[in-house]
Structure formats: structure tokens, C-alpha cells
């Protein structure tokens, strides 16, 4: 028997768990079960998501930055609906696509500096691959510098510049010539730039997955100047920070940085269609791919397809017309201050940081062995690695607020709602965080509470 679309739309939570565990990833299901995190969501609009029992949740995770416009944005559906009615060619690579050409034009108008020429991809990691390849082809140099704690994706090239050993180690050897420098450290960057011919320095304006780490003020601008001094290209990865998230359309604009290459993805597809864009200056693009002989060196079957580019055009237009970065700046600083005040009253909170609507709450590392006493070892491993996730589990199950931990730093819970979020929704989340954290003032209390939730979910079975 093969499942039909109608059956999928009706499928219940235990059937999804069973199938996912059997055919996709059993470990992932076990982890979610441990934290009672696997709801069956049936509908989503804007910041709100409904489960199969009709409960409403606030999505303050926002698909790791892919939902700047919220769930199911009407503007983006309208663009796709127009395409459904007109039936344009979606994939016909022998011809230049109108939608790809227009989206590239629009991106060139709104991105900083002289960024102009676009290569379209289907994900963030693929966008980073395009940027890395372009930097080598354009400069003829081999070395690529990246930062400790960075996250640029998990395919081979992007993984080679992702600063977390846990993700890199099982896949060694990775791409040669990739070297790590400390994030925010200009002296270390300059000494590496001096030491050898470096093709590119790839950097996030704020490290999202690294635990929402904000570099010292002026770092990005000074890094740009150093790169130019040594003939190295600056690749700014705005895959998570871009499209309004941090209070400007692109985070590097806070310091007036003009990258040689920029990576954009996530919210460019309006949360409905996968798309990424690697945009470079004309000079860099020409050096890499100029001329008949080189113009087909880097290609993609689905890159630049009409549906994805129409979604991109509509999503960009909606973000720009509604000036969503302004809401991100205003409600972001309101939420940051609210969380800082809560954190100051809760010893389990080490730091609250962020910019715009990209905010991280860092917890103190749990004391090893502590949870063993509470749970007879049951969730010791989870607590050791996933304290951010445990708090997120509490918010989900007790307060119907969706958040998550950051990939490179599981002690950090991230808050990254759609940029359409309202002050009232922010207030509800602040109250929920306050209740989860301040009622259990110490990590000890938090651990007991989350352990109880986890135990309950385990004994629920299925
Ligand atoms: C800064 C940054 N770059 C690249 C990526 C990889 O994107 P994707 O998961 O679409 O491959 C991510 C994903 O979180 C990211 O945050």
C-alpha cells in the first residue's frame, strides 16, 4: 500500500512517530519523546500553530529564521496561486528564467555595497558551497578562514567551515585548506591573513547556531578592512540573520559592511519554498565565471526555478513594503530587556543576548551527575547536552510556546519568532518564560521539573 496525500493530511501523532522512526530517523523520535516535543500540528498561520486537539501554540522558533513572514504568508501563497493559474515553465534551464532574472535584479537593489550577481540554490548549505567555490575560482587561492562556533551548513564544503567538532569529526577528512580563527578576534584574523594567501573569510554577523553570539562592536567592519588589505574576499553569511531579522534588512548593515559575497536563504522562500541566493559583486563573479568557457562551471538543476523565484520575489516585496525590520528592532529590544530582567532573577540563567528578534538565553552548564539522582540516570545524557531543549520542552508542554536550543550550543535556548509578531504575543511568552524559570529559581529545580515532564512522556509510551 502507498500512502496518498489525503491520508497524510489525516495522519495522527502515533502513526507519524511510527513511520518516522521506522523509515526516517529513530534516534530523533526518541529524543523528541524524551522531551515530549512531538506534537501533531495541523494548521499554522502567522505566529500561531494549532495541534490536533485544537490547542493554539505561539511559534517563537520560526523555523530557525525561515519564517520571517510567519507561517503561510498570504502574499507568498498569492504568488504561487498566480503561477498555478498561468502554468509558466517551472524548469526549463535551456532558457533564462524571467523570475530568476527579476529576483536577482531585486536582490541587487536591496543588498549592501556593490553586490549584484546572483546564483540561485535550494538551501542554505548549497548557497555556502556556491560562495566557497566562487571565492577559490575568483582568487586562485586555496585557503578559507572560518570562525570557531560558526554554523554554515552540513554538506562537505560548508561543514568544513562549520566550527563544531561534533559535526565535523565523523566525516573526516574534510575539505583541505579550511582554517579556524576565534570569532571576534581581529588580531588572530590578521595574523592568519598575513601568513598565507587566503581566498576568503566566511563569517556570520551574529552566530545563530553558535548560541546567538554577538561579536564586539566594529568587528565586522574591521574584518572587512583587513580582508581588503590582504586581497581576501569577505563572505558574509546572512542565511539566518538576513531579511530583517536583526533590525536591519541585513545584519551587516548595522556596521555599513560591504561584503564581496553574501549568502541568503531561509526566509527568502517565504517559509513555503526552498531557495537560496549567493550574491557577489560583478568583479568577483566575473573573475570566477566570466566568459563562455567558465560561465557553466557551477550550475544546479533546480536552482532558479520559477516557483521558488516567484516566492522569493513576493517574500522580499512583503518584507520590504512592510518594513518588517522595524518591528524586529522595536519588539526585539523589548523582548531582550524583558528576558534580561527575568534572567537577573534566576541563577540558572547565565546570560541573555541578541539583536532584533534573534535572542538567546544561555543557561549554566548542569552539574554532572546531578540529574542521575533525580531520574536514576534516565535523562542524564539529555540534560548534559540539551539543557536549552529541556527548558524549551517546559515552554512547549506547559505554556504552548515553541522554542528550541541552538545547534552548536545546546545550553542556549533561542527565541526567533516571525517578524510579524505582536507586543501582546511577546508579553505572553515573557510571562511563560518567567513562570518556567522563576518558579524554579535554581538549575536544580529546573532539572527536577523537566525530568518529571520527560519521565511522564516516557511512561506515556508509544
Ligand atoms: C548561518 C547559517 N548558514 C547556513 C545554514 C545552513 O542552512 P540549511 O540548513 O538550509 O542548509 C544555516 C542553518 O541554520 C545557518 O544558520
* ∠ CA 57-317-72, rounded to 5°: 25
The cell 513576493 sits on which residue?
Answer: 314
Q: DSSP 3-state assignment of 349?
A: strand
Domain 74-321 is found in CATH 3.40.50.880 = no
β-strand partners of 44:
49
Residue 11 neighbours by CB under 8 Å, 6+ apart:
3, 19
Domains 5-65+324-460 and 74-321 share a fold: no
373 CA from centroid of ligand 1 (Å): 37
SS3 state at 414:
strand
Query: Measuring from atom 9 of ligand 1, which residue has the nearest CA?
Result: 124
Where in the chain are the domains?
Answer: 5-65+324-460, 74-321
Centroid of ligand 1 to alpha carbon of 329 (angstroms): 22
Ligand 1 pocket, mutate which of 152, 159, 160 (most atoms under 8 A from CB): 152
**Ligand 1 near 208 CB (within 6 A):** yes
CA distances from 307 to 59, 100, 255, 328, 423 (A): 26, 10, 34, 28, 34
Task: Please give the positions annotated as active site.
Answer: 151, 237, 266
List beta partners, residue 49: 44, 57
Rounded CA-CA distance 46/364 in Å is 33
Q: Is ligand 1 within 6 A of the CB of residue 303? A: no
Q: Which of 120, 66, 117, 67 is nearest to 310 (CA)?
A: 120
Q: How far is CA 324 from the centre of its chain?
A: 18
DSSP 14-76: HHHHHHHHHHT-HHHHHHHHHTT----EEEEEBTEEEETTS-EEEE-SHHHHT-TT-BS-HHH
Residue-wise pLDDT tens digits, 99-121: 999 999 999 999 999 999 999 99
Between the CA of 236 and the centroid of ligand 1 the distance, in Å, is 12
pLDDT at 198: 98
Residue 123: CB within 6 Å of ligand 1?
Answer: yes
Span from the CA of 262 to the centroid of ligand 1 (angstroms): 13
Nearest 5°: CA angle at 121, between 118 and 209?
Answer: 105
Q: What is the mean pLDDT of each run of 10 residues along the chain (462 residues)?
A: 94 91 91 74 96 94 96 98 90 84 98 98 98 98 97 98 95 97 98 93 96 96 98 98 98 98 98 98 98 94 95 98 98 98 90 97 66 48 62 89 84 94 98 83 57 49 35
Nearest atom in ligand 1 to 274's CA: 10
Q: Note the CATH architecture for domain 5-65+324-460.
A: Alpha-Beta Complex (3.90)
Amino acid at each position: 500500500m502507498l500512502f496518498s496525500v489525503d491520508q497524510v493530511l489525516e495522519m495522527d501523532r502515533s502513526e507519524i512517530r511510527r513511520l518516522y522512526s521506522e523509515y526516517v530517523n529513530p534516534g530523533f523520535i526518541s529524543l523528541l519523546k524524551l522531551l515530549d516535543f512531538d506534537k501533531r500540528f495541523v494548521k499554522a498561520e502567522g505566529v500561531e500553530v494549532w495541534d490536533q486537539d485544537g490547542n493554539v501554540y505561539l511559534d517563537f522558533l520560526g523555523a530557525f529564521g525561515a519564517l520571517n513572514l510567519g507561517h503561510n504568508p498570504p502574499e507568498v501563497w498569492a504568488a504561487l496561486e498566480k503561477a498555478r493559474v498561468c502554468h509558466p515553465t517551472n524548469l526549463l534551464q535551456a532558457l533564462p528564467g524571467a523570475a530568476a532574472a527579476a529576483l536577482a535584479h531585486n536582490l541587487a537593489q536591496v543588498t549592501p555595497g556593490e553586490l549584484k550577481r546572483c546564483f540561485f540554490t535550494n538551501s542554505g548549505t548549497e548557497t555556502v558551497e556556491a560562495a566557497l567555490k566562487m571565492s577559490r575560482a575568483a582568487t586562485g587561492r586555496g585557503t578559507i578562514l572560518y570562525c570557531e562556533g560558526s554554523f554554515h551548513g552540513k554538506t562537505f564544503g560548508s561543514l568544513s567551515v562549520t566550527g563544531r567538532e561534533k559535526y565535523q569529526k565523523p566525516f573526516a577528512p574534510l575539505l583541505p585548506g579550511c582554517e579556524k580563527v576565534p570569532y571576534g578576534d581581529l588580531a588572530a584574523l590578521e595574523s592568519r591573513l598575513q601568513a598565507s594567501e587566503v581566498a576568503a573569510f566566511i563569517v556570520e554577523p551574529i552566530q545563530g547556531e553558535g548560541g546567538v553570539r554577538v561579536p564586539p562592536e566594529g568587528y565586522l567592519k574591521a574584518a572587512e578592512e583587513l580582508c581588503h588589505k590582504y586581497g581576501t574576499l569577505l563572505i558574509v553569511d546572512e542565511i539566518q540573520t538576513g531579511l530583517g531579522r536583526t533590525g536591519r534588512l541585513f545584519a551587516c548593515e548595522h556596521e555599513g559592511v560591504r561584503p564581496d559575497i553574501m549568502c541568503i536563504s531561509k526566509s527568502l522562500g517565504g517559509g513555503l519554498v526552498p531557495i537560496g541566493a549567493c550574491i557577489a559583486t560583478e568583479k568577483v563573479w566575473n573573475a570566477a565565471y566570466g566568459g563562455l568557457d567558465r560561465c557553466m562551471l557551477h550550475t544546479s538543476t533546480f536552482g532558479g526555478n520559477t516557483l521558488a523565484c516567484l516566492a522569493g520575489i513576493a517574500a522580499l516585496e512583503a518584507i520590504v513594503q512592510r518594513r518588517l525590520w522595524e518591528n524586529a528592532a522595536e519588539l526585539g529590544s523589548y523582548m531582550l530587556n524583558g528576558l534580561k530582567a527575568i534572567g537577573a532573577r534566576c541563577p540558572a540563567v547565565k546570560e541573555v543576548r541578541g539583536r532584533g528578534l534573534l535572542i538567546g538565553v544561555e543557561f549554566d552548564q548542569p552539574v554532572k551527575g546531578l540529574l542521575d539522582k533525580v531520574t536514576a540516570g534516565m535523562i542524564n545524557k539529555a540534560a548534559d547536552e540539551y539543557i536549552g531543549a529541556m527548558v524549551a520542552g517546559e515552554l512547549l508542554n506547559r505554556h504552548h510556546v515553541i522554542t528550541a536550543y541552538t545547534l552548536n550550543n545546546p545550553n542556549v535556548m533561542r527565541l526567533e519568532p516571525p517578524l510579524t509578531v505582536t507586543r501582546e504575543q511577546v508579553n505572553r511568552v515573557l510571562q511563560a518564560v518567567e513562570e518556567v524559570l522563576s518558579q524554579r529559581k535554581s538549575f536544580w529545580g529546573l532539572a527536577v521539573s523537566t525530568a518529571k515532564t520527560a519521565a511522564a512522556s516516557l511512561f506515556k509510551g508509544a
